[in-house]
């Protein structure tokens, strides 16, 4: 279950105009998308979904991808996997793990040793139970509103419509299982370090500076790894700047898109 709107938006911008054609989609397993019982490790399903959407629906790429939170990670991963389809990436308080200091980075494309896979399977049993009960509590309207008020600066945006947009998808019979699968890896993580070393497209970081979950320090770390990134701090926004501070966020995004060559 998503605790806030997490759209991926792809758009095309012509050289002669600052207006963009935008598309908003729900990532598989989130929102109104199918609650598919697939392996969500490292966003591979979302990479396929985004790539197929660009090729089959937009059909006039390359495009700019923008995503919030986990959607930011999915956008970055899609841009790395399919550079031919993407001309720019905007991460709005983007999620994703970093390499652990002092530990060698594991290759996510190589199968884990049998012992590690067994340990992961065993851990998954307990994790499934814990996440199930956490999900049952988290999908209650009162709890959703409480969490949204923690991560939104503009609390006027936390209305019944927003709460209901999160409650309804969580009522799907498969939602709890999908919640577990999204939170349980079956392979070593594809870290931001790995993705950023392979990124070939311009990168914009639009960051709600009052986000208690994905703090500004993460944006600063990304800039150190990818110095060519454009960083736009949004001082009056929280975790979902596109919804918390829509006018300023959209202006910053469209201004950046208009400058892409």
Residue 55's pLDDT is: 97
User: pLDDT band at residue 121, thresholds of 50, 70 and 90?
Assistant: very low
Residue 3 lies in a domain: no
Q: Go through 182-213 and write b for each residue having 16 or more CB atoms within 10 A of its CB, e for each that does not.
A: bebbebbbbbbbbbbeebebbbbbbbbbbbeb
The 8-class DSSP code of residue 129 comes to H
Residue 1 lies in a domain: no
C-alpha separations of 113 from 42, 44, 59, 61 in Å: 18, 21, 41, 40
Check pLDDT > 50 for residue 3. Answer: no
Range of 68's domain?
8-258
Instruction: In whole angstroms, give the CA distance from residue 85 to residue 101.
Output: 33
Residue 217 lies in a domain: yes
Residue 107 lies in a domain: yes
User: pLDDT band at residue 13, thresholds of 50, 70 and 90?
Assistant: very low
Check pLDDT > 70 for residue 251. Answer: yes
Average of per-residue pLDDT values in the chain = 87
pLDDT in tens, 39-94: 999 999 999 999 999 999 999 879 999 999 999 999 999 999 999 999 999 999 99
Q: The whole model's pTM is what? A: 0.86
Instruction: In whole angstroms, give the CA distance from residue 253 to residue 90.
Output: 8
Percent of all residues in the chain with a pLDDT value above 90, rounded to a whole number = 73
Residue 45 lies in a domain: yes
Is the CB of residue 151 less than 8 Å from the CB of residue 211? Answer: yes
Percent of all residues in the chain with a pLDDT value above 70, rounded to a whole number = 82
CA 27 centroid distance within chain: 9
Average pLDDT score over residue span 234-256? 97
Residue 57 lies in a domain: yes
User: Which residue reads 């991460």 in tokens?
Assistant: 91
Query: What domain count does the chain have?
Result: 1
Average pLDDT score over residue span 133-139? 87
Residue 47 lies in a domain: yes
pLDDT in tens, 145-201: 999 999 999 999 999 999 999 999 999 999 999 999 999 888 889 999 999 999 999
Residue 149 belongs to a domain with what CATH number? 3.40.50.1820
Q: Which residue has the higher pLDDT, 128 or 214?
A: 214
């Amino acid at each position: 279950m998503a605790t806030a709107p997490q759209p991926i938006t792809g758009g095309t911008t012509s050289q002669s105009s600052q207006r963009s054609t935008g598309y908003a989609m729900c990532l598989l397993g989130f929102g109104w998308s199918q609650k598919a019982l697939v392996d969500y490790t490292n966003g591979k399903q979302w990479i396929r979904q985004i790539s197929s959407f660009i090729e089959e629906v937009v059909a006039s790429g390359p495009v700019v991808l923008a995503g919030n939170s986990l959607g930011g990670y999915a956008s970055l991963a899609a841009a790395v996997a399919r550079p031919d389809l993407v001309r720019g990436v905007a991460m709005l308080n983007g999620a994703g793990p970093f390499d652990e200091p002092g530990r060698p980075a594991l290759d996510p494309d190589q199968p884990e040793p049998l012992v590690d896979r067994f340990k992961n399977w065993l851990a998954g049993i307990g994790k499934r139970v814990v996440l199930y009960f956490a999900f049952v509590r988290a999908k209650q309207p009162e709890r959703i509103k409480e969490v949204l008020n923690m991560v939104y600066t503009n609390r006027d945006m936390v209305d019944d419509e927003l709460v209901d947009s999160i409650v309804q998808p969580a009522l799907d019979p498969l939602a709890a299982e999908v919640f577990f699968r999204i939170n349980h890896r079956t392979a070593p993580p594809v870290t931001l370090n790995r993705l950023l070393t392979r990124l070939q497209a311009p990168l914009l970081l639009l960051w709600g500076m009052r986000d208690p979950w994905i703090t500004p320090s993460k944006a600063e770390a990304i800039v150190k790894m990818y110095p060519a990134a454009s960083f736009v701090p949004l001082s009056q926004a929280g975790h979902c700047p596109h919804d918390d501070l829509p006018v300023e966020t959209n202006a910053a995004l469209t201004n950046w898109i208009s400058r892409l060559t």
